[in-house]
Amino acid sequence: MSDTCIFCKIVSKDTKATVVYQDEQVTAFRDLHPVAPTHILIVPNKHIESVGRLEVEDEQVIGHIFTVARKLAVDEGIAEGGYRMITNTGGDGGQTVFHLHVHLIGGQRMRHPMG
């Protein structure tokens, strides 16, 4: 846990968010500025700054984020239509919150190209 990290504070319930799923490994909550009808952020409960700071021991939680995403897509009614998952890393990647997170975005047709 980082004292200054907004996502750590959401995980520990010290800051309000619309949490849609939580277990001992991950927390999922609605993005404050949604870009589509469904826009959920899924984060490890443990503070990991970014993909750039991942260790081999984190592989299990990263895999778990994907299976939680699959479940949330069903709950949100977007599993059939399809959805996009994005993880930004570092400045050029567009990362603005430095607690690793996966955006789960759907409910409308995604636009291309991604870059």
Q: Does 115 bind ligand AMP (CB under 6 A)?
A: no
Minimum distance between the CB of residue 89 and ligand AMP, rounded to whole angstroms?
9
The item of Zn ion, ligand AMP, none sharing an interface with residue 4, based on CB under 5 to 8 Å by kind, is none
Q: How many CA atoms lie within 13 A of 68 on its CB side?
A: 25
Enzyme catalytic residues? 101
Q: Using CB under 5 A as the criterion, which residues of the chain lie in contact with Zn ion when the complex forms?
A: 2, 5, 7-8, 47, 99
Task: State in angstroms the smallest separation of the CB of 38 from ligand AMP.
Answer: 13
Q: Which is nearer to ligand AMP, 80 or 115 (CB)?
A: 115
Maximal CA-CA distance, the chain = 39
* Cα gap 79→17, rounded to integer Å: 24
12-34 b/e with 16+ CB inside 10 Å = b? eeeeebeebeeeeebbbbebeee
97 binds ligand AMP (CB under 6 A): yes
> Considering only residues 11, 68, 95, 104, which one is a binding residue for ligand AMP as defined by CB under 6 A?
95
- d(Cα 41, Cα 83) in Å, to the nearest integer? 13
